Amino acid sequence: MQENGKAATIRREVEESARTSREPDLYCKYFDFELEDLRGLKILDLGAGDSRFARSVDEHSGSVVMLDPKYAQRKPYYPGNAVTGIAQNLPFRSGSFDLSIASFFGLPQELMKRC
Res. 114 pLDDT band, cuts 50 70 90: very low
Domain architecture of the chain: domains with CATH: 20-114 (3.40.50.150)
Backbone angles phi, psi at 110, to 5 degrees: -65, -30
Are 99 and 57 a contacting pair, CB within 8 Å? no
pLDDT tens-digit series, residues 8-51: 776 665 555 455 556 788 888 888 888 889 999 999 998 888 88
Give the span between the Cα atoms of 77 and 112, in whole angstroms: 28
Q: What is the pLDDT of residue 17?
A: 46
Confirm whether pTM is higher than 0.75: no
Q: Which of 25, 32, 111, 20 is nearest to 66 (CA)?
A: 20
- Which of the pair, 15 or 71, is modelled with greater confidence? 71
